[in-house]
Amino acid sequence: MALLEEVVFELLANAHKVLIFSQFVKNLHLVQKRLDQMGVGYRYLDGSTPARAREQEIAAFQAGQGDVFLISLKAGGTGINLTAADYVIHLDPWWNPAVEDQAADRTHRIGQDRPVTVYRLVAENTVEEKIVRLHAEKRELADGLLQGSDVSHQVDAEELMQLLRHDGAWS
């Protein structure tokens, strides 16, 4: 949370607008409280947001109301355009990197006239760090398949269990 606060403060000081994604709604609520304490204007969207309110939140952000948009990963993954933002922060990794990519793509739409930067905040020695490594392996596998190389490695049950196991050795 301290690193997020520092990053958000720096981005807002430099007139950037930010999308913050988390797969955990409770985590977004913690961020909401911190943004309130910081006096930062934000918009909010999760899976429980009714369709009409969802449209209003998106329109308000696009119109400049709020510098930060807090979005649950699943609610913000498809069907919305948020080109007012030029920074994306993922607070926690999802198992499938394509889901995160889809969410970040909310800013890469027609009408976006600035470069977009994506941050992934991941603590060392956590299962999240291992998930990010798994993302890299999945991307490498996908790239190999698309290029027609002979890549046959898939994550098996033992590798998945190793990912979840914490035996003191985070390799």
Q: Which comes out higher in pLDDT, residue 37 or 130? A: 37
Rounded mean pLDDT of 90-103?
A: 74
CA angle 82, 85, 88 (to 5 degrees): 100
Sheet with 42-45: list strands edge to edge. Answer: 42-45, 68-72, 18-22, 87-90, 117-120
Question: 133 by DSSP, 3-state: which?
Answer: helix
User: What is the C-alpha separation between 12 and 35, in angstroms, rounded?
Assistant: 12
Is the distance from CB of 26 to CB of 9 less than 8 angstroms?
no
Q: Which comes out higher in pLDDT, residue 40 or 142? A: 40
Whether domain 2-120 has CATH 3.40.50.300: yes
pLDDT tens digit sequence for 118-132: 888 887 777 777 776
Rounded mean pLDDT of 123-147?
A: 69
pLDDT at 171: 46
pLDDT at 89: 93
Rounded mean pLDDT of 142-164?
A: 61
User: What is the C-alpha separation between 77 and 86, in angstroms, rounded?
Assistant: 16
Q: In sequence order, what DSSP letters do the residues of 60-76 get, joined into one string?
A: HHHTTS-SEEEEETTTT
Closest by CA position to 22, among listed 40, 47, 57, 51: 47
- Whether the pLDDT of residue 63 is over 90: the answer is yes
pLDDT at 105: 75
